[in-house]
Amino acid sequence: MTPIVSKLPNTGTSIFTVLSALANKVGAINLSQGFPDFETPTILVDLVKNALSNGNNQYAPMAGVLTLREQIAIKTEALYGSVYNPETEITVTAGGTQAIFTAITAFINQNDEVIIFEPAYDCYAPAIKLAGGIVKSLELEPPDYRIPWDMVKKLTNNKTRMIILNSPHNPTATILNKKDIEELSAIVRNQEILILSDEVYEHLIYDGQVHHSIALYPELHQRSLIISSFGKTLHATGWKVGYCIGPECLMGEFRKVHQFLVFSVNTPIQYAIADYLKDENTYLGLSAFFQEKRDFFRDGLAETRFELLPSAGTYFQMVTYKNISDEGDYDFAIRLTEKIGVAAIPVSSFYSKGTDHRVLRFCFAKKKETLEKAIEKLIKV
């Protein structure tokens, strides 16, 4: 048999899988993988049951159930003032990761360059490589992880096809501000550069700050695909339902790939989400809901030897342990899981070069009692 040549020779098992498996094995509290340990809203589960009972069990339209696309359009216009046509500019996807992979595959050709910012969500670079593109990564540094736009400008050339943004940002919990958007606009103006904006945590913004969605800026959204996720919004990560919005000229190409990747997405859940979104409080109250958890967790961590980094969005909290140990973050995370009983993600896993600033990422999308137990253990470190 001819030896198999891997398309991703340096890619192993996801760090999320590794740490979650270890947490399960040793009975540790899993604050590594980003999922809630509390229940999905009962009313939403009941809507799914109703959709199942009403016979909505066959293929959905390729672009998604129209009533859901209409609700997405209503939500987007209300929040950001941008009008997207549900018929031609909104596509329901099997989660945010599928939407990201589809967007990259649809537009990146051999030797196209794509700028990403590290630490980066781990699906970006592999998708670019599979499409034949070239990853141009720019490393951000703690504690603030701000984008150095002068360096972005230097990275940009006539081969640059796409810039991938993520705000609120996983794993750093930072958010873009208006100055960032102005800098980005100046760089891409009069250039053939697309924007892929990963906004799956759009409703998790804290301390009265504003989410600067690309949809707010007409100059940018005409060249942009925006990704969001109902898994994050509805506490239902296992349902794997998200969406992509963008101008018709881009969405047409997006759908060409989407139809052969998944074709369509879970039908009854789409109908249930469409009904659920009719009450805007289902998502407008999320910031306050998660900020309470963030504040509780940060107050508890303040009693430990970990040093807190800012958390302006997402449901993640970054900490440095530089005053605790000289270990690499992977080794420290393994020891923390096995010996202390709390699992966290080593942030070096989000850097292609494994850059290690001795920083961990905790997920605080957990019940209060879960966070209390984790804090009790972390105080012992």
Instruction: Give me the CATH number covering residue 312.
Output: 3.90.1150.10
With pLDDT > 70 as the criterion, what percentage of the chain qualifies? 100
Tell me whether the omega of the peptide bond preceding residue 41 falls within 30 degrees of 0, making it cis: no
From 248, 263, 281, the end of a domain falls on 281
Q: For residues 97 and 239, state if they share a domain.
A: yes
Q: Which of 146, 148, 96 is nearest to 121 (CA)?
A: 96
pLDDT class of 3 with cuts at 50, 70, 90: confident
Q: For residues 260 and 325, state if they share a domain.
A: no
pLDDT the model gives residue 79:
96
pLDDT the model gives residue 4:
87
pLDDT the model gives residue 56:
92
Is 207 part of a structural domain of the chain?
yes
Q: Which of 259, 224, 265 is nearest to 243 (CA)?
A: 265
Is 334 part of a structural domain of the chain?
yes
Backbone torsions φ then ψ of 100, nearest 5 degrees: -65, -45
Is 10 part of a structural domain of the chain?
no
Is 180 part of a structural domain of the chain?
yes
pLDDT class of 73 with cuts at 50, 70, 90: very high
Q: For residues 143 and 245, state if they share a domain.
A: yes
pLDDT the model gives residue 10:
84
Mean per-residue pLDDT of the chain: 96
**Structural tokens at position 326:** 């000289």
Rounded Cα distance between 321 and 45, Å, is 40
Q: For residues 188 and 70, state if they share a domain.
A: yes
Domain that holds residue 192: 42-281
Q: For residues 163 and 277, state if they share a domain.
A: yes
pLDDT in tens, 40-70: 999 999 999 999 999 999 999 999 999 999 9
Pairing of strands 90-93, 242-245: antiparallel
Is 320 part of a structural domain of the chain?
yes
- This model's pTM is above 0.85: yes
Contact of 278 with 350, CB cutoff 8 Å:
no
pLDDT in tens, 76-94: 999 999 999 999 999 999 9
Query: Number of folded domains in the chain?
Result: 2
Is 9 part of a structural domain of the chain?
no
Q: For residues 65 and 198, state if they share a domain.
A: yes
